[in-house]
């Protein structure tokens, strides 16, 4: 079902992205300026977009290797994040009436990160937050297979790593109540046997528990189509979870998770068709906007 398609067309609902707009200006593993990225969303006639840059690390020990080699520190990244928030607000105003922009941020959930995200929320007042988990046992799981393997051994096995991931996600959801939960099942990223893993009772029960929390708090889910760009068979969320989500009528909205101009809008049409094929609503609602 997955084919490269970047075009809006009449039979499709309007393009939106609930999670994206990482830019080379504010993120070490992204490219291009935030201005050019926002311009690309406007050129592709998106109805709305949430720009959701990564939060800075809580301390230097959580710097990624590319950040370290660029000479960054946690405090320099906090300063850069403050510039991002101000820049994004000015773009939101400049595009008023042309493109609806939400000023957001994407979290972490390693040790101390959720409390730090709450501090950042209280200081910078984003329109909404994408709540994501990128570490288990404080080890990054989406960077490469060897770090993934390290996280598995730290947890004592792959099922335990999945369980720990969904437990961290549950705590993050409860404490932070992010309007959007990002790439819900990212933990399967380097696991070719994920369909059987997800069916393991210890994992599936946690997935259902977390979805219940999303439902009862009125949050929405990111259909993260960046996975397709990286050659995955299906986006996050995968098919069995989407079936459960449909049954629970939890809103799912595409997130292109763009990290450059040329990944703006990439695979959004595929994601929309995928939702349509599963009978999931594409009458998008916007994420819950925080009131301060
Ligand atoms: Zn990123
Ligand atoms: Zn992410």
Task: Report the pLDDT averaged over residues 45-69.
Answer: 97
For residue 4, the model assigns a pLDDT of 45
Q: Which-ligand-closest: CA of 130?
A: 2
Residue 278's alpha-carbon distances to 98, 109, 168, 208, 239, in angstroms, are 32, 30, 29, 19, 9
For residue 27, how far is its CA from the centre of ligand 1 (angstroms)? Answer: 7
So where are the chain's domains? 16-277
Q: Which-ligand-closest: CA of 186?
A: 2
Q: Class of the 16-277 domain?
A: alpha beta
Cβ atoms of 230 and 144 within 8 Å: the answer is no
Mean pLDDT of the chain: 96
For residue 53, how far is its CA from the centre of ligand 2 (angstroms)? Answer: 9
For residue 131, how far is its CA from the centre of ligand 1 (angstroms)? Answer: 13
Tell the residue number behind the tokens 């105003």, with chain if given: 93
For residue 2, the model assigns a pLDDT of 42
For residue 5, the model assigns a pLDDT of 53
Tell the residue number behind the tokens 């008023």, with chain if given: 96
Task: Report the pLDDT averaged over residues 2-12.
Answer: 61
For residue 52, how far is its CA from the centre of ligand 1 (angstroms)? Answer: 10
First to last CA, the chain: 43
For residue 28, how far is its CA from the centre of ligand 1 (angstroms)? Answer: 8
State the DSSP H helix or E strand holding residue 197, giving kind and residue range, or none if neither: helix 194-199
Q: Which-ligand-closest: CA of 19?
A: 2
Q: Which-ligand-closest: CA of 30?
A: 1
Report the residue count for the chain: 292
Q: Which percentage of the chain shows pLDDT scores above 90?
A: 94
Q: Which-ligand-closest: CA of 183?
A: 2
Whether the predicted pLDDT of 3 surpasses 60: no
Task: Report the pLDDT averaged over residues 48-77.
Answer: 97
Residues 6 or more apart whose CB falls under 8 angstroms from that of 236 comprise 183, 184, 185, 186, 222, 223, 224, 227
Neighbours of ion ligand 1 (CB under 5 A): 22
């Amino acid at each position: 079902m997955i084919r490269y398609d970047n075009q809006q067309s009449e039979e499709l609902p309007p393009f939106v992205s609930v999670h994206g707009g990482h830019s080379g200006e504010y993120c070490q593993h992204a490219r291009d300026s935030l201005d050019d990225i926002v311009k690309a969303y406007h050129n592709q006639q998106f109805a709305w977009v949430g720009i959701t840059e990564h939060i800075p690390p809580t301390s230097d020990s959580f710097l990624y290797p590319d950040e370290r080699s660029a000479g960054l520190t946690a405090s320099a990244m906090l300063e850069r994040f403050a510039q991002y928030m101000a820049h994004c607000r000015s773009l939101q105003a400049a595009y008023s009436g042309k493109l609806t922009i939400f000023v957001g941020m994407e979290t972490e959930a390693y040790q101390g990160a959720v409390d730090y995200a709450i501090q950042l929320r209280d200081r910078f007042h984003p329109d909404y937050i994408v709540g994501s988990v990128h570490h288990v046992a404080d080890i990054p799981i989406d960077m490469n297979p060897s770090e993934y393997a390290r996280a598995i051994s730290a947890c004592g096995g792959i099922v335990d790593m999945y369980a720990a991931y969904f437990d961290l996600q549950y705590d993050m959801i409860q404490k932070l109540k992010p309007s959007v939960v990002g790439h819900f099942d990212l933990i399967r990223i380097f696991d070719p046997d994920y369909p059987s893993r997800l069916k393991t009772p210890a994992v599936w029960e946690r997935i259902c528990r977390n979805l219940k929390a999303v439902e009862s708090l009125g949050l929405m889910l990111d259909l993260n189509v960046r996975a397709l760009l990286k050659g995955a068979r299906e986006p996050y969320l995968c098919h069995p979870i989407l079936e459960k989500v449909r049954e629970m009528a939890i809103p799912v909205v595409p997130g292109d998770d763009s990290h450059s101009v040329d990944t703006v809008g990439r695979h959004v049409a595929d994601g929309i068709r995928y939702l349509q094929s599963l009978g999931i609503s594409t009458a998008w609602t916007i994420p819950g906007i925080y009131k301060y």
